[in-house]
Amino acid sequence: MIETNQEVKSLQMPENVSLWLGDGYDSETREHIRDLIAQNNIEELIDCFYQNLEFGTGGLRGIMGVGTNRMNKYTVGMATQGLANYLKQSFANLPQIKVAIAHDCRNNSEAFSKIVADIFAANGFKVYLFDALRPTPELSFAIRMLGCQSGVMVTASHNPKEYNGYKAYWSDGAQVTAPHDKNIIAEVNKITDLSQVKFTGGSGAVEIIGKDVDEAYLSGIEGLLKLSPEAMERHKDAKIVYTPLHGCGVKMAPAMLRRMGFTSIIHVPEQDVNDGNFPTVHSPNPEEPAALKMAVDKALATDAELVLATDPDADRIALAVRDKKGDFFILNGNQTNSIFTYYLLLRWKELGKLQGKEYIIKTIVTTNLIADIAEAFGVEWYTCYTGFKYIAEIVRRYEGKKTCIGGGEESFGFNVGELVRDKDAIVSCGLAAEIMAWAKEQGLSMFDLLLDIYKKFGYYKERQISITKKGKEGLEAIRQMMCDFRAAPPKSLAGSDVKEIYDYQTLEMKDVKSGLTKPIDQPSTSNVLQYVTEDGSIVSVRPSGTEPKIKFYFGVRESLSDTAEFDSVTRALDKKIDAIAAELKLC
């Protein structure tokens, strides 16, 4: 039996393994560690213990299991105590700190949410805990509605079933950003023993919330839509297939569609079942076409016009629309964002709502088509880092001075207005259905609308390639790849010279020909590289903040003089992206 630091060191395992074999941890945890030792599974032990989970772009997230690098009740407890300590420092002037907590459908999500609630209560906080699973955007809404100083959403978003995590929110309903994220990590790192975590006791109270917040949330986001009520009334019986992919959009998304007046909402019964094992899909990620197969099949069988899918915590949305042949075409995140942005700006203009102080937001890896659309309507646009917390930062900066119409990112996230401070698949479902009805009123399908946008502004084609590198060695490999790209950037891509290199880690843009540099206007640094060629092609490289991946984003553009040329231009642009990927040795 391995019990001492000396014995652990002799096996070349992380020293903190022995700590987890102590009496402070439950018998199940200790037994699992002993089994790994007995199996001489040093590789797994190192991966479980070589680092502490940290807050990234999506908060705390990791594979569930034992160890400091896993999601379990102890790492959740330590992180929550660290957050609680930081909240006490930040809001020392308040008589009582208030927090809201929600969870998704994942395995252990409900249990983790109760642990989080108990720890906050033991620290003397007033805790609002949802009575059952709820969408992430509703948690964001609840924080502001209830006047909370913070909130936690227990979720791993669209990650595989082995993962869980939580997103930490600040008083404005947005996920924590600098300096709060780093300060929270510092507080968590100060907790070196479980005795420092207040799992129970204290003077706080836990209040269960539910229906009242649901009604306020749905009513609030409904008020951001209905820009074309006559069209929606005339086409209210259009058939819409919706799937929550086993997640927590199962009640709220259909409820939103009904509030919008739509009456023919078709479910995929097998995927309405909340199940953290996601039994009907390989991955519950709406970015992956395979996740939508059952919904598309249902739409074909029922002659539906639109397919909507939300991820497990209902902040991301995927759309499938009928193409010219009547088949279903799955929109990528850039296409969805472009359609949403175009419709909102067009209707705001037609309704006389544009007063000169409105703006939209995109991330640095989201299609530049959105910027072109905004400029065509005379609307300001801002760009920020990947992650909706950075979009929320811009909303906070201009709150009361300008009006945010909407914002989105290529990874299937969008939000309307300023009510919710995170991406919101529930309001996006309502918006998508509204656009479908408006397009029908114009004699168009949503696919026709997309082609018209391309014809007017140019056909922007994007693709993402992700390379997975798991574990400690994978993390080091990703770091080395970023170093290599900085040391030896490509000189040309698909026959076009690289003219500009944007390094968001140094916040410098380099003009390749002159060698001159200019500062990049961003409030903080980020480990992102971006190459822009003479013909306007863009390649962005960044490590994921929530997954063991390095991501490459490709953007190319060509004119589309006739919508009948869509297929041929698509092939040409795909070929160009293939060539760039090959030059970067990605395929």
Do 451 and 504 fall into the same domain?
A: no
Structure tokens at 554: 């490709």
List, for residues 17-49, the tens digit of each pLDDT value: 988 998 889 999 999 999 999 998 988 998 899
Mean pLDDT of 518-532: 95
* pLDDT of the residue at 56: 60
Q: Which of 182, 209, 236 is a domain's end point?
A: 209
List, for residues 450-476, the tens digit of each pLDDT value: 999 999 999 999 999 999 998 888 989
**Element holding 498 (H helix, E strand):** strand 496-503
**60 falls in which pLDDT band (50, 70, 90)?**
confident
Q: Which residues contact 556 (CB under 8 A, 6 or more apart)?
A: 460, 461, 462, 494, 536, 537, 538, 573, 576, 577, 580
* pLDDT of the residue at 463: 95
Range with the lowest mean pLDDT among 50-54, 353-357, 483-487? Answer: 50-54
Note the Cα 333 to chain centre separation in Å. Answer: 12
**188 falls in which pLDDT band (50, 70, 90)?**
confident
Do 255 and 204 fall into the same domain?
A: no
In the predicted model, is pLDDT for residue 480 greater than 70? yes
Do 286 and 397 fall into the same domain?
A: yes
Question: Which residue do the tokens 């995590």 mark?
Answer: 165
Q: Which of 417, 432, 457 is a domain's end point?
A: 457
* Pairing verdict, β 508-511 and 517-519: antiparallel
pLDDT, averaged across the chain: 94
Do 251 and 370 fall into the same domain?
A: yes
Instruction: Give the chain's domain count.
Output: 4
**3 falls in which pLDDT band (50, 70, 90)?**
very low
In the predicted model, is pLDDT for residue 545 greater than 80? no
Q: Which of 409, 433, 457 is a domain's end point?
A: 457
Please identify which of the residues 109, 140, 157, 445 carries the catalytic annotation. 157
List, for residues 359-418, the tens digit of each pLDDT value: 999 999 999 999 999 999 999 999 999 989 999 999 999 999 999 999 999 999 999 999
* pLDDT of the residue at 15: 74
Do 442 and 548 fall into the same domain?
A: no
List, for residues 115-172, the tens digit of each pLDDT value: 999 999 999 999 999 999 999 999 999 999 999 999 999 999 998 999 999 999 999 9
Do 95 and 15 fall into the same domain?
A: no
Candidates 187, 26, 163, 179; CA nearest to 108 is 163
CATH number at residue 301: 3.40.120.10
Question: Which residue do the tokens 């309903």 mark?
Answer: 173
Torsion of CA 28, 34, 38, 42, to 10 degrees: 110
List, for residues 232-281, the tens digit of each pLDDT value: 999 999 999 999 999 999 999 999 999 999 999 999 999 999 999 999 99
Do 14 and 33 fall into the same domain?
A: yes
* pLDDT of the residue at 12: 59
157 is catalytic: yes
Do 465 and 405 fall into the same domain?
A: no
Find the domain containing 68 and state its range: 56-209
List, for residues 208-244, the tens digit of each pLDDT value: 999 999 999 999 999 999 999 999 999 999 999 999 9
